[in-house]
Amino acid sequence: MISSQLSGKSVLMVEDEYLIADALCSAFEMEDVHVVGPFPNVASAMQALDEGVKADAAILDVNLNGERVFPLADRLMADNVPIVLTTGYDGDAIPRDYAHLERLQKPVHLSELFGCLNELLARSVASP
């Protein structure tokens, strides 16, 4: 289902909806992708990063039970971690500083998510 860009990689997942997180984790693990998390909020993901957890890419739900994910996005961007934002909101809900990040509309289709992550990882390998 996915290409070698994603196989064997670690993906940080920040998603507050349990059923979505569980389904994504299962799909990724079936494809030999290590899921870091899932974390339901910014604080728990930041703590994991503070403790030395590394990820090759990240999937960030924009709205975590009313909390915006952007402080975590800032940290990941500073570390050059490719990010996919997922949201039920339209593009106008994304602040200008994050408009350049890949954004997928919920409900996210697995093939679209895998394709987006593969493309991001291919780009990050091509231009370190």
| Domains of the chain by start residue, with CATH | 10-98 (3.40.50.2300)
Burial 101-124 (b: 16+ CB within 10 A, else e): bbbbeeebeeeebbbbbbbbbeee
Q: 36-57: per-residue pLDDT in tens?
A: 999 999 999 999 999 999 999 9
pLDDT at residue 89, as a whole number:
84
Confidence band of 71 (pLDDT split at 50, 70, 90): very high
Q: Rounded to the nearest 10 degrees, what angle do helices 110-126 and 18-30 cross at? A: 60
Whole-prediction pTM:
0.93
For 93, phi and psi rounded to 5 degrees?
-80, -10
Average pLDDT over residues 72-96: 93
pLDDT digits (tens, 9 = 90+) for 28-38: 999 999 999 99
- DSSP class per residue in 77-117: HHTT--EEEEESS-GGGS-GGGTTSEEEESSPPHHHHHHHH
Judged by phi (left if over 0) then psi (alpha if -120 to 50, else beta), residue 32 lies in left
Local confidence band at 3 (pLDDT 50, 70, 90 cut-offs): low
* SS3 label, residue 7: coil
Pairing status of strand 57-61 against strand 83-87 = parallel
Mean pLDDT of all residues belonging to the chain? 92
35 with 29: CB under 8 angstroms? yes
Q: What is the pLDDT of residue 125?
A: 74
Confidence of residue 103 (pLDDT cuts 50, 70, 90): very high
Of 46, 103, 101, the C-alpha closest to 12 is 46
